[in-house]
Structure 1
Amino acid sequence: MKCRAARGYRPRPAVAGRPYGWVPAAVLLLAMLSSCTGSAPGGNATAIAKPGTAGVGDRLFPELGNGGYDVAHYGLTLDYAPETNRLKGTAVITARATQNLSRFNLDLSGLRVRAAAVQGAKAQVAHRGDELLVTPATAVRNGELFKTVVTYDGTPRTLESDDGGMEGWIETDDGSTALGQPTGSMTWFPGNHHPSDKATYDITVTVPKDEDGDPYDVVSNGELIAEEDKGEAVTRHWRTEEPMASYLAHVSVGYFEVHKGWIDDDLPFYVAIDPDESEGAAEVPDLVSEIVGWASERFGPYPFSSAGAIVDHLPGLDYALETQTKPYFDKAPDEALLVHELAHQWFGNSVTPRKWKDMWLSEGLATYAEWLWEEERGDRNADEIFEDFYDGTDAESEGIWAFPPADPPSGRRVSDPPVYGRGAMVVHKVREAVGDETFFDILRTWSRQHRHGSADTQQFIALCEGKSGKDLSELFDTWLFDEKRPSRM
């Protein structure tokens, strides 16, 4: 998450003694109703197609995500002009219906849809706020794998929160960057933008060369599988073969110094650094390699096909984001922040919170990774860091008692201090209660059992109790769910 530096009816064949096409009146009426409502042929005759819901029932972000389908893959083809900040896009969304669908929604904010098709046939679309309503020519059957193509364009939006924070499509001094947490991904591509619906991605971006004829760099998630110089423009194709939540999808356009290498001879890394940050970020490529190796020993095998980082120059953003395979930094990061965002590749990216209220699992575990790093390399052990947070003497401890980590009062608060600092304190209490051997077994098992999936708070509690053989209900009630600042246990 955001981490501050220091989202048809067919007639029946003739039957003997009955006219061709004759059917009982009740069946004819049902067939007519099914045709009108788009009931899926070949399925349950009584299963009438209905619209998918707008939203997935997440209390903190009720309008994000959509019901009735599960996305398997996004194919995004983008043309972007940095000089005018204009974006043209075609999204090919492959999904499986989880009900008979007469209509479904996609989350899309601020861009104009020019055309849409479902299974190759023209679909009707209507835009209501940030909801794109898609009505296919023929209803989609429950269980059917279907393909939706949306063509769109416009000036992508930057979303600003009450505290001045930015997300979405953000212009930089030499291009742009797309940051999706928690709602920003809907500003540059249509989709099912909730963490519980993960998918694979192909992101292809064409950018014209600048006025001097020099190409812009385009960096995204996963691996660069193709690059083409078209004379006046350059196209780059990035692929993410492991499932990814849409808020982790990312594109950065600009000028970067690219550092490539290998971690332990079998894991490629790709680090892109803005020239304005090159001096301060000189150690980042080596640190990425070192931290990924260190974390792999503690949390289990690295969960993706590549690693890396993007160090941009974006004054005023004031946060980093764990964009999958290449966490994004608005400026040269210190070691602790780099540890935090790389730890998210296990906690948050591979194992993604099922709902936004479960975000403490990502942030608490990534913050605790910072504590472990300092314990092994710094001047405080984890017990001392815990005490500094409890007493309020640590610089990051301000505001950690505002609400329980697993119960943010609103979507605007999912990046607030309790989710991070008090979340890490919960993790430390678990370590204290079960001992180091069981604790690190819990972390590795969590990463393995839910690899490339989604998980929630109750599953984590069950794993801790199952591995330790202890009833930890009092611990979690006190440190995770209680609204008051706990007394020491």
Structure 2
Amino acid sequence: MANQANAAHRVFPCNDHPADKARFTFRITAPKSLTVVAGGLPGQRVRKGSRTTWTYRLAHPMATELAQISIGRSAVPRRTGPHGLPVRDVVPTADRARLEKWLARTPGQLAWMEKKAGRYPFETYGVLIAHATTGFELETQTLSLFERDLFTSDQLPRWYIESIMVHELAHQWFGDSVSPRRWSDLWLNEGHATWYEALYADERGKASLERRMRKAYAQSDAWRAEGGPPAAPAAADPGQPIGIFRPVVYDGSALVLYALRQRIGRAAFERLERQWVLRHRDGVASTADFVRLASTVAGRDLSGFLHPWLYGRKTPPMPGHPDWKQSEKETTKGAALPGARAGRHAVRYSVPWAVKPG
């Protein structure tokens, strides 16, 4: 399933909005030759004749766009994450050995994210690698969806693929556990996931966070002109049903977080991140909630600082970097990595700095 933003109602009746979360139990009946995995932990499995009914239950509330069910000829390798967390992945049976090197990275990525944002918020995690073309990866709750081609192509560097895995993992905190109150709050999801994606690459010595943010700053006005400011997205283009997944909500919103860290300092910023996901765990939160909490943690009113960053047509000056300028030569697409594809990959597989495979 790839329900983002509001396609879940095509599968089951629901109020298809991320602010309306619920607890889910899945019961799926399929031919006994197929393996069924859904979000959450497995329950009773009943075989009757040539068919099997599988049960999965999520222990935490979930938005409909994050529901995930896999039915196929799949292998389900299992391992253990931090604090004994059960980690289960779902991959095409024929690809299990080939994909193992990627699956083995997840426990370390979980440990890295816990150091940044606190304890993992759910009962299990894993990746679903599908032999399908979706046009994007997706942070479905407890079982993130990835296209097989991301891992089998030789056109993308290994560190970059790992950073995309961290992007979807970070969403389990930012977007899944803490969901947006309105669609205009989506920058809180994608900005944070892009932030940790970039931070992971930086800390692994593969791509400088500051250089990425400087390039994003140079493009920010163009992104805002195309898609609106981070917290006030423009309407969709004619003929397009959804217009919120634009560059400004990815690197353009990570840039807001970078500016905030520059303003309040690294220590306060890291406290804010942990308090944000702890205070709003299993709930929904808005941009106004984030501004209030940031002000509380910083010990001063930050609304005057953050409002232009979140709602302004033009990008404010970057604290600590008076030399950073907008560039008229930059495009709204950024410098695409080799292997970049259309659709949301134009964002996920496009970064505002050039890189060579390796």
Decide: shared fold, TM above 0.5: yes
- Counterparts of 1:466-485 in structure 2 under 5 Å? 466-485=296-315
Give the match for residue 243 of structure 1: 61
Amino acid at match of 1:368: W
What residue in structure 2 maps to residue 367 of structure 1? Answer: 194
The 8 Å contact of residues 224 and 314 in structure 2, kept in 1 or not, is answered as no
CA contact (8 A) 1:276 1:313 kept: no
Q: What corresponds to 1:11 in structure 2?
A: none
Q: Which has the larger helix fraction? A: 2
Q: Where do 4+ consecutive residues of structure 1 move more than 6 Å?
A: none
1:269 matches 2:91: no
**Counterpart residue number, 2:137:** 320
Q: Which of 22, 41, 51 is the aligned partner of 1:223?
A: 41
Larger radius of gyration: 1
Distance in 2, matches of 1:310 and 1:398, equals 35
CA contact (8 A) 1:277 1:312 kept: no
User: How do residues 299-338 of structure 1 correspond to structure 2 at under 5 angstroms?
Assistant: 299-315=117-133, 317-331=134-148, 332-333=150-151, 334-338=161-165
Compared with structure 1, are the counterparts of its residues 297 and 307 closer, same or farther at alpha carbon in structure 2 (3 Å cutoff)? Answer: same
8 Å contact kept, 1:229–1:235: yes
1:62-461 equivalent positions in 2, closer than 5 A: 178-209=1-32, 215-275=33-93, 277-278=95-96, 281-315=99-133, 317-331=134-148, 332-333=150-151, 334-392=161-219, 399=223, 402=226, 403-410=228-235, 412-461=242-291
With over 3 angstroms needed to count, the CA separation of the structure-2 counterparts of 1:468 and 1:258, relative to structure 1, is same
| 1:308 to 1:400, Cα distance in 2 relative to 1, 3 A | farther
Q: Specify the code of the residue in structure 2 equivalent to 1:360.
A: W
Equivalent position SS for 1:294: helix
Larger RCO (CA under 8 A, 6+ residues apart): 2
Partner of 1:368, secondary structure, is helix
Q: CA deviation at 1:434?
A: 1.0
Tell me the amino acid that sits aligned with residue 407 of structure 1: A
Separation of aligned partners in 1, 2:273 and 2:23: 25
Distance 1:305 1:187 in 2: 27
Helix, strand or coil: the match of 2:80?
A: strand
SS of alignment partner, residue 297 of structure 1? helix
Whole-Å Cα distance in 1 between the matches of residues 95 and 223 of structure 2? 31
CA contact (8 A) 1:401 1:418 kept: no
Letter in 2 for 1:318: G
**Counterpart secondary structure, 1:322:** coil
Contact 2:223 2:252 in 1 (8 A): no
Report what 2:323 is aligned to. none
Cα contact 2:18–2:181 (8 A) shared by 1: yes
CA distance in structure 2 between the partners assigned to 1:471 and 1:385 by the alignment: 28
RMSD: 2.0
TM norm structure 2: 0.80
Aligned residues: 303
* Matching residue's letter, 1:203: F
SS at match of 1:244: coil
Given the superposition, is the C-alpha separation of residues 266 and 279 from structure 1 closer, same or farther in structure 2, using an over 3 Å criterion?
Answer: closer
Task: State the shift of 1:319 in Å.
Answer: 0.5
- Hey, what's the Cα distance between the residues in 1 that align with 2:79 and 2:207? 32
The alignment partner of 2:78 has SS state of strand
Distance 1:200 1:432, change over 3 A: same
In structure 2, do the counterparts of structure 1 residues 417 and 375 end up closer, same or farther at CA, with 3 Å as the change threshold? same
Task: Note the C-alpha offset of 1:252.
Answer: 1.6
- Shift of the alpha carbon at 1:389? 1.6
Deviations 1:244-296 (A, max 9, x none): 01111111211112111211352101101124654653223221111111101
The answer to which of 384-393 and 295-304 deviates more is 384-393
- What is the rounded CA distance, in whole Å, between the counterparts of 2:290 and 2:138 in structure 1? 23
Distance 1:485 1:441, change over 3 A: closer
Quickly say closer, same or farther: Cα 1:279–1:389, change in 2 above 3 A.
farther
Superposition deviation, residue 475 in structure 1:
3.0
TM-score, normalization by structure 1? 0.59
Deviation, structure 1 residue 390:
2.0
CA distance in 2, matches of 1:483, 1:413: 17
How far apart, in 2, do the equivalents of 1:409 and 1:299 lie? 30
Q: Match of 1:409, as an amino acid?
A: A
Mapped to 2, the partners of 1:470 and 1:368 lie a distance apart of 24
Determine the C-alpha separation between the residues in 2 that align with 1:476 and 1:467: 14
Residues 224 and 313, structure 2, Cα contact 8 Å, conserved in 1: no
Unpaired segments of 5 or more residues in structure 1?
1-177, 210-214
Which whole-Å CA distance do the structure 2 matches of 1:383 and 1:418 have between them?
A: 17
User: Structure 1 227/418 Cα, relative in aligned 2: closer, same or farther at 3 Å?
Assistant: same
Mapped partners of 1:208, 1:304: distance in 2: 30
Q: Could you tell me how far apart the structure 1 residues matched to 2:4 and 2:317 are?
A: 34
Q: Aligned with 1:347: secondary structure?
A: coil
How far apart in 1 are the matches of 2:12 and 2:225? 37
Relative distance call for 1:438 and 1:362 in structure 2 (3 A) is same
Unaligned runs of 5+ in 2: 152-160, 237-241, 320-358
Amino acid of the structure 1 residue aligned with 2:45: E
Letter in 2 for 1:342: L
2:61 is paired with a residue of what secondary structure? strand
